[in-house]
Chains A and B, each alone.
Chain A
């Protein structure tokens, strides 16, 4: 049950687009389309922003989008805004009937 691999940090200027990768294996990300993404501001509870690779829950801004290719999922934030500065985590269901999270990515808005 190794954690999914995410870059430790990603930064961008307001208005730019950034992409966060989430790399797993054929036993998790590559096995199912059950990849989710979460946003967590400091001291706050994680918030689901993408489910099942690319579904955006009601109320989540459409500047957040998700995709997957093979065993790597990606979260793209378009039109980066100051309020997007937070930690982002991916998660995936696995072939062992467990879930696994990524190590998290700190997004900095320059």
Chain B
């Protein structure tokens, strides 16, 4: 069974950092582009970042550029999101999601909640 499982969320103070992880199983992780998508409480979906199959190419939403870093470890079937200088507006459920070619986003994790508050 194909599965994506996020972890690493929690409560962090403004200005703090957090690293999210997403472990993939049941499919050839190293052959897929992977993404992070977030959803603030009661709000809509917002695309955050994507990384290509071998990690050599990344893109970011303007709102997180220079603040977040996406990476992956294909040997561990794991996707990461390093989040720095966190602000209250970064509070959201963070989902990892997969694109199968242009079939985006065909698989989602259950999400991990990040709360930025003092």
**Across-interface contacts of A45 in B (CB, < 8 A):** 95, 108-111
Question: Please, how many angstroms separate the alpha-carbon atoms of A91 and B46 in the complex?
Answer: 9
Within the complex, the shortest CB–CB distance from B103 to chain A, in Å, comes to 5
Question: Please, how many angstroms separate the alpha-carbon atoms of A38 and B106 in the complex?
Answer: 9
**Across-interface contacts of B108 in A (CB, < 8 A):** 45-47
CB-nearest residue of chain B to A103:
B44
Within the complex, the shortest CB–CB distance from B3 to chain A, in Å, comes to 12
CB-nearest residue of chain A to B58:
A97
Question: Please, how many angstroms separate the alpha-carbon atoms of A75 and B44 in the complex?
Answer: 17
A1-20 CB contact bits vs B (8 Å, 1 = yes)?
10100000000000000000
- B-side interface residues, number (CB < 8 Å): 22
Task: Confirm or deny: B85 has a beta carbon within 8 angstroms of a beta carbon on chain A.
Answer: no
CB-nearest residue of chain B to A1:
B62
Of B59, B104, B106, which one neighbours A97 at CB under 8 angstroms?
B59
**Is B106 a contact partner of A104 (Cβ separation < 8 A)?**
no
Q: Tell me the residues in window 11-53 of chain A with beta carbons closer than 8 Å to chain B beta carbons.
A: 34, 36, 38, 40, 45-48, 51-52
Q: Tell me the residues in window 39-85 of chain A with beta carbons closer than 8 Å to chain B beta carbons.
A: 40, 45-48, 51-52, 55, 57
**Across-interface contacts of A89 in B (CB, < 8 A):** 44-45
**Is B59 a contact partner of A101 (Cβ separation < 8 A)?**
no
Q: Tell me the residues in window 25-56 of chain B with beta carbons closer than 8 Å to chain A beta carbons.
A: 35, 37, 44-47, 50
Of A51, A87, A96, which one neighbours B104 at CB under 8 angstroms?
A51
Q: A45-B109, A45-B111, A51-B104 are in contact. Are A38 and B45 (CB under 8 A)?
A: yes
**Is A48 a contact partner of B103 (Cβ separation < 8 A)?**
yes
CB-nearest residue of chain B to A34:
B102
Q: A99-B50, A100-B47, A101-B45 are in contact. Are A93 and B104 (CB under 8 A)?
A: yes
In the A-B complex, the 6 residue pairs with the smallest Cβ-Cβ separation, listed nearest first, are A104-B44, A99-B47, A101-B45, A51-B103, A45-B108, A48-B106
Can you give 12 A-B contacts (C-beta < 8 A)? A1-B62, A45-B108, A45-B109, A46-B105, A48-B103, A48-B106, A52-B103, A91-B47, A99-B47, A99-B104, A102-B44, A104-B45
